Amino acid sequence: MNFLRTKPAIATFIVFALMAVNTAAIYAIFEPTSELLTVSFLDVGQGDAILIESPEGVQLLIDGGRDRAVVRELPRVMSPLDRSIDMVLATHPDADHIGGLPDVLNRYRVSYYLSPGIEHGTSQAERLGAAVEDELGAVSILARKGMRIHLGESVYADVLYPDRDVSKAETNSGSVVVRLVYGNTSFMFTGDAPSSVEDYLIALGGELDSDVLKAGHHGSHTSTSAAWLDAVTPSVVVISAGKDNSYGHPHEEVLERVRASGASVASTVEDGTIIFKSDGRTMVHK
């Protein structure tokens, strides 16, 4: 598995080659219906689930919430006749990110599954592992820095982290961090990555600037530092959390940091499912 860490160019080629086969099949079936990228932060309570759909109709689901709420929400942002999702990315194996993914894999035809490769012996992780094996066979890919995932011709997602073996890592610290780009618009997705990972990415350099930032760890004070906000410079920070959750998310100090940065806050607690649409030049959300 080391080549995924030490040879990012090869990793990029592998992901591109795998996705290209599936994307070609999609093009043969569906004509692009618009020039819009749609990013939906689903209201799944205390958890994360984000559906990305490119103008070409290629779909990427990042995380699946804690339970079956994800399969109730997906038909509200997808065609009711759609029974396939091209790729699922599990940022890390905590229950509020993977609990609903077995139901997704059972309900939808999923072509590729990405994960950081963290070993986690919980019942949720074991159930997901069984679903991946049953539904996908061997088409499972370790997410590593240097991979570029092409969602059709016009949209891509770069994996920024992890850049190493995280099989023994604490789950939040091994979270996959991804930056999505369409034209002049961009999104940063961080799972539950803590500030230590944010600081590491800042130190590495590279392109971090993004219009929309998904707040790490549901708005916990352990993530979304002032330094990270300065590096990413988002216009909107999205918080995915459950109403009256026992963790007190989002923490007030995070909201204060976001306000001090000049960004606005959009929260599934207050707004339910939040949908962004981009034409590659401008972006709106509701």
Q: What is the pLDDT of residues 12-48, one digit of tens each?
A: 444 554 554 454 444 433 444 579 999 999 999 999 9
* CA-based nearest residue to 94, from 216, 259, 267, 207: 216
Superfamily of domain 3-277: Ribonuclease Z/Hydroxyacylglutathione hydrolase-like (3.60.15.10)
Q: Which secondary structure element, helix H or strand E, spans residue 86, and what is its range?
A: strand 84-89
Longest dimension (CA), the chain: 49
More confident call, 11 vs 126:
126
pLDDT above 60 (res 8)? no
pLDDT in tens, 243-281: 888 888 899 999 999 999 999 999 999 999 999 999 999
0.85 surpassed by pTM:
yes
Q: Counting every residue, how long is the chain?
A: 286
pLDDT of residue 16: 53
What residues have CB less than 8 Å from 218, skipping those under 6 apart? 46, 47, 48, 96, 192, 239, 240, 241, 245, 247, 249, 250
pLDDT of residue 170: 95
In whole angstroms, what is the distance from residue 24 CA to residue 19 CA? 9
End-to-end CA distance of the chain: 41
37 Cα distance to chain centroid: 15
In whole angstroms, what is the distance from residue 192 CA to residue 214 CA? 10
Residue 27 CA: distances (Å) to CA of 17, 36, 66: 15, 16, 33
173-193: average pLDDT:
97
pLDDT in tens, 127-179: 898 888 887 775 789 999 999 999 999 999 999 999 999 999 999 999 999 99
pLDDT of residue 138: 56
pLDDT of residue 221: 92
pLDDT in tens, 223-251: 999 999 999 999 999 999 988 888 888 99
Return the domain boundaries, the chain. 3-277
* CA-based nearest residue to 48, from 169, 196, 176: 176
pLDDT in tens, 84-113: 999 999 999 999 999 999 999 999 999 999
Q: Are 188 and 157 in contact (CB under 8 A)?
A: no
pLDDT of residue 18: 52
